[in-house]
């Protein structure tokens, strides 16, 4: 018997066992094609007698499953109750000659290289070896009959659900689409934990732009989009107002279209707005006025937007998005970027279209104030309908 607490020790023993033994009987909660021993497993398929892999929480990578489609020696299981969670790896030549790793490590790259794991290596030479062998085989056999061999249709369906679950899994890990950059634990990110009452208190007390003035801008823009639907159906002055460009739209004197992100200095953007560029309108058409906004909506917007603005125009793009769907998007510009990034726990440099969604919008979707708004009056209800755009109130620096 040997206790393995170091990843190198686990790798050394696992690699030895794959080479030394002729029969594999495994049961693991999750598996990935990036596992350090995946290529060795593929080379030794003939040694697989019974391997059972869990697919609970969609943690097993579909590329691993693809390698074993229609392979009668590999079953996949999702328990209807509880979670399939064993990690036992039995390597045998016979009942008299075998070794068994009982571990916290799944068959994944992280488990063998990054995670803190603990494993015990047992063998046929240990005390109670017959008992240990029989119990390991029994667990694997029981799981085997509860699982199934995947066919190509099973894989196709699983891959769809796996893909849709990844943003949720990453956000719970504090990754938000970025595997390379370390993040704070999600509960330590200030914006995540802010309550609706705290959110509203900060917004109502803004003394620079003013709470009432912001509400008026939101109301005007909302009415413009409701009346005309498509951006290219609006008049030049209406488009300029929505875009945050100085205009001659007949509104009250204290109404400043530059609230939520002034674009008066964006010359090229201003020119395209006045020209009524078709791709700007096509981009905004990809964002529905109601309902859930997904990354797919956002990516289609960016695809059209970049047909006119091929460079980095994050401020102008997010200004338009924040006006079309102020409940989802915030204009990110030089006036609020620094404070917003600090509160969101993200690095300011290198922000681009992808990171805007992954690092900012995904955190917003996890935030208490966004998920559980609790408006107390009519004005708070109006803020609720534009609550993300109002983040500018929290982070605007004079």
* Domain boundary assignment for the chain: 2-166, 186-395
Tell which wins on pLDDT, 161 or 318.
Answer: 318
Looking at 3.40.50.2300, 3.90.1150.10, 3.30.870.10, 1.10.10.10, the CATH number of the domain 2-166 comes to 3.30.870.10
* Cα-Cα end-to-end distance for the chain: 66
Q: Taking residues 303-317, report their average pLDDT.
A: 94
Per-residue model confidence as pLDDT tens digits over 376-396: 999 999 999 999 999 999 999
Beta bridge pairs of residue 120: 3, 102
Q: Which two tokens stand for residue 335?
A: 């006036």
Least confident of 109-118, 200-209, 307-316, 370-379: 200-209
CB neighbour class for 281 (10 Å; exposed up to 12, middle 13-18, buried from 19):
middle
Per-residue CA distances from 240 to 64, 153, 276, 381 (Å): 52, 51, 10, 27
**219: part of which helix (H) or strand (E)?**
helix 211-228
Q: Which two tokens stand for residue 271?
A: 């020119």
Q: Which two tokens stand for residue 300?
A: 């289609």
- Is pLDDT above 80 for 89? yes
The confidence band for 78, taking pLDDT boundaries of 50, 70 and 90, is: confident
Per-residue CA distances from 16 to 9, 10, 99 (Å): 11, 10, 11
Distance CA 136, CA 88 (A): 8
Distance CA 78, CA 57 (A): 9
Q: How far is CA 144 from the centre of its chain?
A: 32
Q: How many CB atoms lie within 10 A of CB 163?
A: 11
pTM across the whole model: 0.72
Least confident of 106-120, 207-221, 314-328: 207-221
Distance CA 160, CA 64 (A): 15
Distance CA 386, CA 396 (A): 16
Give the pLDDT of residue 182: 53
DSSP state of 205: T
* Exposure on the CB side of residue 359, measured as CA atoms within 13 A: 26
């Amino acid at each position: 018997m040997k206790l393995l607490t170091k990843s190198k020790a686990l790798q050394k023993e696992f690699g030895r066992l794959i080479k030394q033994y002729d029969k594999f009987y495994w049961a693991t909660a999750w598996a990935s094609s990036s596992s350090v021993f995946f290529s060795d497993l593929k080379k030794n398929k003939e040694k697989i007698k019974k391997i059972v892999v869990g697919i609970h929480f969609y943690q097993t990578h579909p590329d691993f499953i693809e390698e074993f489609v229609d392979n009668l020696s590999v079953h996949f299981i999702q328990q209807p109750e509880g979670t399939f969670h064993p990690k036992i790896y039995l390597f045998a030549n016979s009942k008299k000659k075998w070794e068994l790793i009982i571990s916290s490590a799944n068959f994944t790259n992280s488990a063998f290289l990054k995670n803190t794991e603990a494993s015990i290596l047992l063998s046929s030479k240990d005390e109670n070896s017959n008992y240990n062998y029989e119990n390991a085989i029994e667990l694997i056999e029981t799981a085997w009959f509860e699982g199934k061999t995947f066919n190509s249709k099973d894989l196709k369906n699983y891959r769809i659900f796996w893909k849709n679950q990844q943003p949720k899994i990453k956000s719970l890990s504090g990754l938000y689409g970025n595997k390379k950059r370390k993040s704070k634990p999600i509960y330590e990110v200030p914006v995540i934990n802010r309550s609706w009452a705290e959110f509203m208190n900060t917004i109502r007390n803004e003394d620079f732009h003013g709470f009432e003035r912001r509400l008026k801008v939101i109301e005007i823009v909302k009415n413009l989009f409701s009346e005309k639907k498509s951006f290219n159906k609006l008049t030049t002055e209406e488009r300029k107002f929505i875009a945050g460009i100085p205009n001659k739209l007949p509104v009250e004197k204290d109404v400043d279209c530059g609230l939520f992100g002034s674009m008066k200095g964006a010359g090229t953007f201003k020119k395209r707005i006045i020209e009524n560029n078709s791709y700007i309108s096509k981009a905004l058409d990809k964002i529905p006025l109601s309902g859930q906004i997904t990354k797919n909506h956002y990516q289609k917007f960016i695809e059209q937007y970049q047909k006119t603005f091929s460079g980095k125009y994050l401020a102008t793009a997010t200004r338009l998005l924040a006006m079309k769907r102020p409940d989802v998007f915030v204009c990110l510009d030089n006036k609020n970027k620094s404070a917003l990034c600090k509160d969101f726990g993200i690095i300011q440099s290198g922000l681009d279209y992808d990171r805007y969604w992954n690092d900012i919008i995904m955190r917003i979707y996890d935030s208490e104030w966004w998920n559980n708004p609790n408006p107390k009056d009519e004005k708070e209800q109006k803020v609720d309908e534009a609550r993300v755009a109002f983040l500018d109130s929290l982070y605007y620096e004079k």
